[in-house]
Amino acid sequence: MSSWAKSVLFLLSVAVTMGLASNIFAQGQAARYDLLLKGGHVIDPANDVDRVADVAISAGKIAAVQESIPAGEAGKVVDVTGLYVTPGLIDIHFHVGHGGVPLNWFAPEARSQAAPLGVPADIALGAGVTTVVDAGTSGAETFLQEKMEVIDHARVRVLAFLNIVANGMNGGLEQTVDQMDPQLCAATIKKFPDIIVGVKTAHYWTEQPADALHEPWAAVDRAVECGNLANVPVMFDFWPRPDRTYADLILKKARPGDIHTHVFAQQFPILLADGKLNPILTEARARGVIFDVGHGAGSFWFRNAVPAVKQGFIPDSMSTDLHLGDFTVLSMTEVMSKFLAMGVPIEDLVRAQLRKTEWNTDTREKDLAHLGGLDG
Ligand SMILES: [Zn+2]
């Protein structure tokens, strides 16, 4: 394998990041390909390609991957010798849009200090990401705004987990259990089946004592109920507590195909007292639970990640959790670089790591394909 130090990662996201070159030769003869990337190290796990090869593109699609394609056959040739070429990456934990913050900041009811939670969707493209999945920034009452403001206009493909909280994130209603309506959540997901691929729960009742209005599992249970009604996976952002343990989340509440994000955050018992990997992780994996990085501003701790990775526990998906206020990492490639530094081979980082799970219906298979880590 080429070393990271010697090679700069070149992430191919042809359709969206590269303008198509003229396809006409000077002498007027039509070129066979619009664009040719020559001499790069292609890593394309889906097609079992891991070697130096030329990649030709026509009309925004990959037309050929061969050992050598003559330069004369393309309208534009880019020498990518010494760089990696991969399919577009998928960032399954990202934030776009306003969430629960009112659109009109100057309205009397707006909290004037509240900025939108999301970042501009297209900044993902710079790291070779061609699909981002918004991780519950909006809920049933705010999704349409996010769709019209961001999703419909982005160059990067934007999918979404719908927040179980109808108002979404950051609007001051994330602790209001009445906001978590599984029926409304499922109905909204069914209305936008091409965009909404799952449910999200986050930030719920982290440290306060439980009371009649705040049952410890309310957010998780309602998110799972919505997931069952809409037949989609749930992504959990979770805070364990004595009456709501991590073991119960990943061994009992999470269904096969559900995702625990922020796996290396400080609050999870990833390691036992003797430094060994907590066996509940392996057990949960065997049940089909998926573990996502969700790096974020404070959700990635080397003290958990390094021993876990050394013992062979590598998250199923890399993701940034980019949002306004996250200045810890700025791109998917930075997240991947941390794992590279921990000894994970780049081929494995590029690989679609989401394992096959036991979703039964076509819908679920389609949803998981969306989340598979790599764009075709
Ligand atoms: Zn997030």
| pLDDT score of 299 | 94
92 Cα–ligand 1 center, Å = 10
342 Cα–ligand 1 center, Å = 23
The rounded average pLDDT for each run of 10 residues, N- to C-terminus, in the chain (376 residues) is 38 37 48 95 89 95 94 96 92 93 64 75 94 97 94 97 96 94 98 98 94 96 98 98 97 97 97 98 97 94 97 94 83 94 90 40 37 40
246 Cα–ligand 1 center, Å = 18
163 Cα–ligand 1 center, Å = 11
276 Cα–ligand 1 center, Å = 28
| pLDDT score of 50 | 93
Residues 109-114: contacts with CB under 8 Å, at least 24 apart: 111/172, 114/170, 114/171
| Contact indicator for 191, 197 with CB cutoff of 8 Å | no
To 10 degrees, what angle do helices 182-191 and 218-230 make? 40
296 Cα–ligand 1 center, Å = 7
* Dist. CA 313–CA 282, nearest whole Å: 8
70 Cα–ligand 1 center, Å = 45
| pLDDT score of 107 | 66
| pLDDT score of 116 | 79
78 Cα–ligand 1 center, Å = 36
140 Cα–ligand 1 center, Å = 17
164 Cα–ligand 1 center, Å = 14
248 Cα–ligand 1 center, Å = 22
61 Cα–ligand 1 center, Å = 31
| pLDDT score of 66 | 95
* Dist. CA 331–CA 295, nearest whole Å: 10
